[in-house]
Amino acid sequence: MSALLEIDGLGIAFGGITAVDDVSFAVRAGEIVSVIGPNGAGKTTLFNMISGLYRPSQGKVRLEGAEITAMEPHLLARRGLSRTFQNLQVFGEMTLLENVMVGHHLREKAGVLSDLLGLPASRQKTRASAESALALLARVGLEKAAYRAARTMSYGALKRLEIARALALAPKILLLDEPAAGCNAVETEEIDRLIAEIARAGVAILLVEHDMKLVMKISAHLVVLDHGRKIAEGAPAEVARDPQVIAAYLGQHGQEQVLHAEG
């Protein structure tokens, strides 16, 4: 019961090919746990199963002791699970402010009729969401662009926007899938600072990130995936010494960075 999120033997196959196989670990309240592994190891797929987008073919997920395996994502949001996406999923035609306001959806419901008629209940909720969304945008340094359409913004800005939007849910646990991928050095630093700040506020974080320096520095716990299987787990310093990890992950990771540089 001490764990906030428990992953228990989780696995999934696509058309007979196993993408994730029998992965177990736990995240405690307020803790940062990082999942690392080469491209295609199954990290995103794992996130998709935890957040209810994919239905696992084996295993269980528990949040605060209650089983949430394959639960609808919007119900998971109610229970305090929030996430960002490796491949941006922003609402391109909406302003940055509106993007974050969507994160307040669960708190701003007033009913369709009230919304159609523009009743005070609806208008008041819109005002409240806007206020708190503006504060969140300020927290990620985007308040100046609040009224611009998301599709006009740079990649790095949208990465931060996704974090602000995910925070709007006031989550207990936040899943960040490569939040700094594709960002420049300044933006990466900004995101590092943000992650540390979120964790200090008591939100548990499950992180996928390729920036090893960052991962080693902020994680309480590391989980290493390779070919869909967990090959190591433990404190960062321990895991970094694991010969299997060095062989499977770090070797390939070097190649991958070359690829990133080319792309």
Partner 1 sequence: MADLLQFLMSGLTVGAVYALLALGFTIIFNASGVVNFAQGEFVMLGGMGTAFAIAAGLPVPLAALLAILGTAAVGVALNRLAIAPARGAPVVSLIIITIGAAIFLQGAAGLLFDKQIHRYPGFSGEAPLRLAGATLLPQSLWVMAGAALTFAALWLFFTRTLTGKAVLATANNPLAASLVGINTKAIMALSFGLSAAIGAVAGVLVTPITMTAYNTGVALALSGFAAAMLGGLGNPLGALAGGLLLGVLEALTAGYVSSQYKDAVSFILIILVLALMPQGLLGRKTTDRV
Partner 2 sequence: MKPKHLSLLVLTLLVVAAPFFFPSGFYYRIGALIFINAIAVTGLVILIGYAGQISLGHAGFAGIGAYACALAPEHLGLPPVAAILLGTALSAALAWLVGKPILRLHGYYLGVATLGLGILISMVLSNEAQWTGGPDGIAVPDLGLRGLLRDLGWRIGAGELWYGLAGTVMILGAWLALNLFDSPTGRALRALHGSEVAARTMGIDVARHKLHAFVVSAVYASVSGSLLALMNRLITPDVAGFMHSVQMVTMAVLGGVGSVLGAIFGATILTALPQLLTVFHQYEHMVLGLVMILVMIFLPDGLLPSLMKRLRGRDGE
Residue ranges in contact with Mg ion by CB under 5 A: 43-44, 86
Name the residues that contact partner 2, by CB under 8 A: 51-53, 72-74, 76-78, 82-83, 85, 89-94, 98-99, 101-103, 105-106, 108-112, 114-118, 122-123, 125-126, 129, 152, 165, 168-169
Binding residue for partner 1, selected from 34, 48, 99, 188, defined by CB under 8 A: 48
| Residue 7 C-beta: closest distance to ligand ADP, Å | 14
Among 47-55, 105-113, 205-213, 236-244, the segment contacting partner 1 (CB under 8 A): 47-55
Short-list 65, 91, 90, 89, CA closest to 79: 65
Is residue 15 involved in binding partner 1 (CB under 8 A)? yes
Residue 15 vs 254, nearer CB to partner 1? 15
Is residue 19 involved in binding ligand ADP (CB under 6 A)? yes
Triad 82, 88, 90: Cα angle to 5°? 75
The count of residues interacting with ligand ADP (CB under 6 A) is: 10
Binding residue for partner 1, selected from 7, 35, 46, 54, defined by CB under 8 A: 54
Site for ligand ADP in 85-114 (CB under 6 A): none
Residue 125 vs 210, nearer CB to ligand ADP? 210
DSSP string covering the chain: --EEEEEEEEEEEETTEEEEEEEEEEEETT-EEEEE-STTSSHHHHHHHHTTSS--SEEEEEETTEE-TT--HHHHHHTTEEE--SS----TTSBHHHHHHHTTGGG----HHHHHHT-HHHHHHHHHHHHHHHHHHHHTT-GGGTTSBGGGS-HHHHHHHHHHHHHHT--SEEEEESTTTT--HHHHHHHHHHHHHHHHTT-EEEEE-S-HHHHHHH-SEEEEEETTEEEEEE-HHHHHH-HHHIIIIIHHHHHHHHHHHH-
Site for partner 1 in 84-123 (CB under 8 A): 85, 87, 89
| Residue 103 C-beta: closest distance to partner 2, Å | 5
Residue 137 vs 208, nearer CB to ligand ADP? 208
Short-list 36, 33, 86, 32, CA closest to 232: 36
Is residue 44 involved in binding ligand ADP (CB under 6 A)? yes
Is residue 14 involved in binding ligand ADP (CB under 6 A)? yes
Closest chain position to Mg ion (CB): 44
Residue 66 vs 112, nearer CB to partner 2? 112
